[in-house]
Structure 1
């Protein structure tokens, strides 16, 4: 009985202590003020008439590039109150340029809160160039001919795109590709970070040149590929069942990290 009373007293003391220290126990309701980060600063569209290439050049932001059913390209910029570098969309000859004018402020941790969304009509099938300095890149369901994606610092997530030529340059960050059908030619250069690739249908060659990080590729069984690998420091696990057709070649070169190819 004395132990039971003692336990109750200790519990009461702890509860009073946590309350006096402003410590809250349990589920805390979401602070509605956090929704200010989704404030839209710009929402505009541009015609694709006569456009042969879309150039996207961003300094600091998380960038989403996605297909849409509209006829025009749509640019949405969110949470730019701490920036003085405006994001401008302008048509110049055969190019549609979306560019962030360089900010005069130093890059700080609060600057990555900017979000940029670019919606490209599904009917567009010409060239796209996307580069970002600091921030994550997500590209989804985009069509194109020659597509290049470059990131300085941040992760890249590329899903279900339909392009002929794909070039990816990654500085620091992980890269994820989930493709229904691989391009005719895909070249990936990695600095520091892992690269994970999933392909449902192999339709071309892959050249991978990595710095530091693991490479994982998943291909369908009996894919018509020949796999060539080389690595400085790291293991190579080629466990995929492939056909003897050797129609396409995977040249996989890694500096420091494992290479794994499976079904």
Structure 2
């Protein structure tokens, strides 16, 4: 379930205004040449970061009930830890409002989840198993809207340790905070970025779908992986392949993108540009086993 995160509004309004003036839109809809509008992706700018303002005026006003008499937001503290057996878990669903998130692979047969810190927009976290799904969900003052630019959270952190033998599916909906995913071996991985930096390091997957939010993204792959599909947001993107093992589809947002592949990789490079430049330095094998379909939005693309 996608959250409607009402954050970094000034940034998005400014960026959108500039892009509309340049007749630029993002995502797969940016490819028709006769379009002159910005793609709002189901009424949202950049994945789950934007929302329709008028439809949420009531939600916005309701959130102001949570200010104290001095005009300060109430702060909620949390310190919980929970262990869940891996048995019968087929997928993980994580929904974040305002926390830094660390996901790690561990030598264990259990999941361990810890949530610590304080926040003005997260009052509690629930951890439960419904059917075969492990659900980890932050609950804010209003689950449909999050005024991230008012958030007073400075130290809230969620750590999720995943058994190294768990190779099912994981879906993460990011909020305001940095996300770090390290060393996991997964089947399908879906990540929706929020406002913060995103790091994926030494992970293995068969399928990765990523929606960038606002922040820099680093994907450092030390092993052969499967297909990758990325919708760009606002921020720089770096992808490092130790070995190419699948197709890559990238629909650019705003920022610099650097893709590094080994020499003589069996890759066909197909590129198109919006406002920006493409610099191809990579030497491929000519076998064309995999296709990199790269569409630049606003910024530079470099393939080394």
Q: TM-score, normalised by structure 1?
A: 0.81
The Cα shift of 1:101 comes to 1.6
- What is the correspondence of 1:75-154 to structure 2 with a 5 Å cutoff? 75-80=113-118, 82=120, 85-103=123-141, 107=148, 108-154=150-196
Secondary structure of the residue aligned to 2:186 is strand
The Cα shift of 1:112 comes to 4.4
Q: Which has the higher contact order (CA 8 A, sep 6+)?
A: 2
1:68 maps to which of 106, 109, 117: 106
Distance 2:198 2:267 in 1: 25
The Cα shift of 1:182 comes to 4.5
Q: CA RMSD in A?
A: 1.7
User: Which residue of the partner structure matches residue 228 of structure 2?
Assistant: 186
The Cα shift of 1:82 comes to 4.9
For the structure 1 residues 175 and 121, does the alpha-carbon distance in structure 2 shift closer, same or farther, using more than 3 Å as the test?
A: same
Distance 1:144 1:154 in 2: 23
Distance 1:158 1:164 in 2: 14
Mean alpha-carbon deviation: is it higher for 119-128 or for 68-77?
68-77
Distance 2:122 2:187 in 1: 34
The Cα shift of 1:181 comes to 2.7
- What is the correspondence of 1:3-42 to structure 2 with a 5 Å cutoff? 41-42=79-80
Secondary structure of the residue aligned to 2:153 is helix
**Are the counterparts in 2 of residues 151 and 169 from structure 1 also a CA contact under 8 Å?**
yes
**Number of residues of Structure 1 aligned to a counterpart in Structure 2:** 224
The Cα shift of 1:230 comes to 0.9
**Are the counterparts in 1 of residues 96 and 137 from structure 2 also a CA contact under 8 Å?**
yes
Distance 2:121 2:210 in 1: 28
User: Which residue of the partner structure matches residue 218 of structure 1?
Assistant: 260
For the structure 1 residues 216 and 161, does the alpha-carbon distance in structure 2 shift closer, same or farther, using more than 3 Å as the test?
A: same
**Are the counterparts in 1 of residues 120 and 151 from structure 2 also a CA contact under 8 Å?**
no
Whichever structure has more strand as a proportion of its residues is 1
The Cα shift of 1:194 comes to 0.8
**Are the counterparts in 1 of residues 96 and 175 from structure 2 also a CA contact under 8 Å?**
yes
Moved over 6 A (4+): none
Mean alpha-carbon deviation: is it higher for 228-237 or for 79-88?
79-88
Mean alpha-carbon deviation: is it higher for 150-159 or for 97-106?
97-106
User: Which residue of the partner structure matches residue 175 of structure 1?
Assistant: 217
User: Which residue of the partner structure matches residue 237 of structure 1?
Assistant: 279
For the structure 1 residues 182 and 233, does the alpha-carbon distance in structure 2 shift closer, same or farther, using more than 3 Å as the test?
A: farther
The Cα shift of 1:84 comes to 5.2
**Are the counterparts in 2 of residues 139 and 158 from structure 1 also a CA contact under 8 Å?**
yes
Secondary structure of the residue aligned to 1:257 is strand
**Are the counterparts in 2 of residues 40 and 76 from structure 1 also a CA contact under 8 Å?**
no
Structure ID, larger Rg: 1
Distance 1:82 1:193 in 2: 26
Please give the per-residue CA displacement for 1:134-175, whole angstroms capped at 9, x wherever unaligned: 111100001111110111211100001011000111121111
The Cα shift of 1:235 comes to 1.3
Distance 1:79 1:161 in 2: 27
Please give the per-residue CA displacement for 1:4-58, whole angstroms capped at 9, x wherever unaligned: xxxxxxxxxxxxxxxxxxxxxxxxxxxxxxxxxxx97111111121111100111
Q: Which runs of 5+ in 2 are unaligned?
A: 1-76
